[in-house]
Amino acid sequence: MPAFEGSCVAYDCHVLRNIRVNMRDGVGLSTDVYLPALDGKPVGGSWPVVLERTPYDKSRRVSHSQAGRHFARRGYAVVLQDVRGRWSSEGDFEFLRNEADDGFDTLKWIGQQEWCNGKVGTIGYSYTAADQQSLAITRPPHLVTQQLFDGGYNYFNQTFRHAGACEYAIFLQYVLQMARQSKEAAADPQIRDALDRMWASLGKWVRRLPLRRGESPLRLVPKYEDWFFDMLTRSDYEDYWKDKSLNLEEAIDLYPDIPIFLETSWYGHHITATLTKYAEMRRRHKTPKKLLIGTWLHGMEMFAQSWAGDVDFGPEAALDSVNDLRSRWCDQYLKGLKTGLEEEAPVRIFVMGGGTGRRNLQGRLDHGGRWRDEQDWPPPAMRPVPYFLHGDGRLAAEKPAEAAAPSSFTFNPNDPVPTIGGNFPEKAIPGLLDGGGFDQRGRPDLVLCQDTLPLSSRRDVLVYRTAPLAEAVEVTGPFVVRLWVSSTAVDTDFTAKLIDEYPPNPDYPEGFALNIADSIVRMRYRDTRDRAELMEPGKIYEIAIEPQATSNLFAAGHRIRVDISSSNFPHYDVNPNTGEPLGLERRFATANQTVFHDAARPSHIVLPIVPVARG
């Protein structure tokens, strides 16, 4: 066996706080530098540099301990910086739009410091992954590697908007949280108090859909209110969304060919974005790219958890320390140590499922799972298999009959299907939205739930399920739901949700309907994201709904289930069905929806099946 190398704790650290680093326009960004130290004094010489630029306070514990102290004690110089307009830095904050130039100028400054050896690697999660991408496309000097953990790709396609809809609850809580931490709120206790009160009653505000400009405490921080309403109302894919600092899709050809470590998770927030980046970079680049996909929720402190929501994947799912991964990558590509990374498979995924199905001591469903290495994504062994929707509620490999009757339901925007779990941070909005896997039934702790009955019992949810599986079926990869639909409205939504339906057992006498993945299509954007095109009432349209990719073992005795409806609120804003400009509507209208499943219009889901026998 080869002898592998790695950095160990050999130093203490010395911190130089709140250094002003001037950008090209004279704005000063507050920067902390962590240097290896002995006896309380910095050790002389130059070091490889680890950089993180954050809007979330460079001095918070997760940055100070997991980035600054951790890497400095292992022989790195660490630079932590508040981005423009946030915390100790000057200027006005605009979501990602200044990060390309500011990132370039910061790396240029780092390269001029005596403690820098000329090699810089960047780290970060979510926004701090996205701002790495913004600076990378400027091809700054000294950048030799990056670690992009669960960050976006094109925020128009997912995260803020999604297939024409708005990811309403996620975006509203994010803007409000950022506003509560803004300089304006810090300078005026009355502003902070008003925003805090809005946060405490966010459930009531969310139900006042849509929010009106000037009618909430966001008006006290105008730049943040403008940001929210731009994202809510700019529903065409216009120039606003194509800024290369904001949108990597528009700049992917500019990305430097450097080693990159990408991470996401099945219940994280940027699965599609991360998988798209991995595929596009692998196609263009020659340097190593590594992809890690786990089960945790969106957040740097979630890696040590083996659960997401009400579902546990077993102790193997948790990582002992995310910094072990980050340090190993930096040792390999900043210090040139032989860590064994390049001998490993480029892709490591957690295949969910295979547990006992009982309730564990923590009160969660034991869904189980295991890690597996792959040579690429999607897995080379994956094969697309269609499962057809039938009018009697079956989901089956057999195609529908020639004259099979369609299925219909009535969608009332005033009574939307509530969101139960999904791809959010834990307790994303207390009482409104929890991330992770949950039984798809109402919950007393969620204010939008009127009862605790199964969502499948609603009249506006069409349910299609297989027979109990005779043997396990592994679904690993991207998938699509293809529907033929019509509506009495000029605009409406269709949603799809993939569910692992457990049979009853003593702990779950009614079974457990575990949400695996979901998505939506706003019909005015059924053909193109560039511009809206209203529907002709009664006309039949073919649409594709593309949930995020997944990896789940549907155990023997379980059923594969697909739920079709027209709302999933508050994850997505509710379509008023009126065709009015989005985010500005004043009226709601009921729509009668039809899903076709006959031989000429065979609505179906195409699942990525991986042979279970391969291990």
Q: What is the 3-state secondary structure (H, E, C) of 59-102?
A: CCHHHHHHHHHHHHCCCCEEEEEECCCCCCCCCCCCCCCCHHHH
**Secondary structure E strands in 123-223:** 143-149, 161-162, 165-166
Domain 12-149+255-374 has CATH 3.40.50.300: no
Considering the domain 383-614 in this protein, what is its CATH number? 2.60.120.260
> Are the C-beta atoms of 361 and 388 separated by less than 8 Å?
no
369 neighbors 355 (Cβ within 8 angstroms): yes
Structure confidence at residue 614 (pLDDT): 47
Beta bridge partners of 371: 350
User: How many other β-carbons are positioned within 10 Å of the β-carbon of residue 27?
Assistant: 18
**Alpha-carbon distance 140 to 258, whole Å?**
12
Q: Mean pLDDT across the stretch 462-480?
A: 98
Query: Helix 127-136 vs helix 99-111: angle between axes, to the nearest 10 degrees?
Result: 70
- Which regions of the chain carry the CATH code 3.40.50.1820? 12-149+255-374
**What average pLDDT does the structure give for the chain?**
95
Angle between helices 189-200 and 168-180 (to 10 degrees): 150
Task: Give the C-alpha separation, 241 to 562, whole Å.
Answer: 32
User: Hunting for tokens 């509203």 — which residue is that?
Assistant: 172
- Average pLDDT for residues 421-443, to the nearest whole number? 87
Q: Which residue ranges does the chain devote to CATH 2.60.120.260?
A: 383-614
What mean pLDDT is predicted for residues 356-374? 97
pTM of the model: 0.96
Greater pLDDT, 499 or 4 = 499
Per-residue pLDDT reduced to its tens digit, 230-275: 999 999 999 999 999 999 999 999 999 999 999 999 999 899 999 9
Q: What is the pLDDT of residues 330-345, one digit of tens each?
A: 999 999 999 999 999 9
* Nearest-angstrom CA–CA distance, 519 and 565: 11
- pLDDT tens digits for range 427-436: 667 788 889 9
Is there a contact between 364 and 307 (Cβ–Cβ < 8 Å)?
Answer: yes
Residues in the chain: 615
Rounded Cα gap, residues 483 and 547, in angstroms: 14
Beta strands in 439-580 (DSSP E): 462-465, 473-477, 480-487, 493-502, 512-522, 541-545, 550-554, 559-565
User: In this predicted model, what pLDDT tens digit does every residue of 368-390 receive, in sequence order?
Assistant: 999 999 999 999 999 999 999 99
Q: With beta carbons less than 8 A apart as the criterion, state whether 294 and 350 touch.
A: yes
Contact 164, 141 (CB under 8 A): no
pLDDT tier at 299, thresholds 50, 70, 90: confident
- Residue 397: CB atoms within 10 Å: 10
Q: With pLDDT > 90 as the criterion, what percentage of the chain qualifies?
A: 90
**Which residues partner with 389 through β-bridges?**
395
The tens digit of pLDDT for each residue in 527-536 reads 999 999 999 9
Residue 16: which residues within 8 A CB-CB, separation 6 or more?
32, 33, 35
The pLDDT assigned to 494 comes to 98
Identify the pLDDT of residue 339.
Answer: 96
